[in-house]
Homo-oligomer: A and B are copies of this chain.
Amino acid sequence: MAKEISVQTLQRLPLYLQYLKTLPPKGEKSISARALGEALGFGEIQVRKDLACVSDSGRPKTGYPAVELTRDIENFLGYDNVNDAVLVGAGRLGKALLSYEGFRAYGLNIVAAFDSSPEKCGGDESGKKILPFSKLQNLCQRMKIELGIITVPASEAQAVCDVLVGSGVKAIWNFAPTHLHVPEEVILKNENIAASLAVLSKSLAKSESQFLNPAAVNER
């Protein structure tokens, strides 16, 4: 436990958690690394290494107690302390994220959305407020917002990003299909659907032309 953790491991942790939550509460008290691995498509050694980073509840002969393991992963990922965030760009994708209930379970709370076109402003069906872009800076500074989510078109993304950074945001989650420039100390995570699609359609093409590598493009 408490070793250096790699990005890959970090990305797998939520998957373990998702699976643990699907287990019936009345079922087995413990689960083995092998069983977890088979359910998710990972090797059992990899599962042990991943879990060793966040929990030491593993017991020989029985495996990991489901309740303790769940708690340990959640603690590590910080799902208990909530992160406030703002979202910029109330288009379709922005609204989809706004109304996604699951974020709260991941410790993320979108406090408000912003958009430059006035007709989008007001209340969203999700119950979240959509405010004019001009109010962004003020709100971020007042509420000490640290995370900004960008769902505007690519052409506006850098400008929005600059405003967010100027408002004290420390991390940017970018869904616009473009590369953003941020200062050293600001964390940037790009969500690029084209990159994912490239992997998928390429392996589809490959498998059709009988080349090689038919399956399992995903993780690992």
Q: Which residues of A contact B (CB under 8 A)?
A: 7, 10-15, 17-19, 22, 39-41, 77-78, 83, 91-93, 95-96, 99-100, 102-103, 106-108, 146-147, 154, 170-171, 173, 177-179, 182, 184-205, 207-208, 214-219
Specify the chain B residue showing the minimal Cβ separation from A172.
B200
Quick one: given A92-B96, A177-B102, A178-B22, are A14 and B218 in contact (CB under 8 Å)? no
| Contact of A170 (CB < 8 Å), options: B10, B179, B182, B204 | B204
Are B108 and A202 in contact (CB-based, < 8 A)?
no
| Contact of A188 (CB < 8 Å), options: B11, B184, B217 | B217
Are A184 and B96 in contact (CB-based, < 8 A)?
no
Residues of B within 8 A of A190 (CB): 218-219
> Could you list 24 examples of A-B contacts with CB < 8 Å?
A7-B217, A14-B198, A15-B179, A15-B194, A18-B154, A78-B201, A92-B92, A93-B96, A95-B96, A108-B201, A170-B207, A171-B200, A171-B204, A173-B196, A173-B197, A182-B215, A184-B215, A185-B207, A187-B203, A187-B214, A188-B215, A189-B218, A190-B218, A191-B196
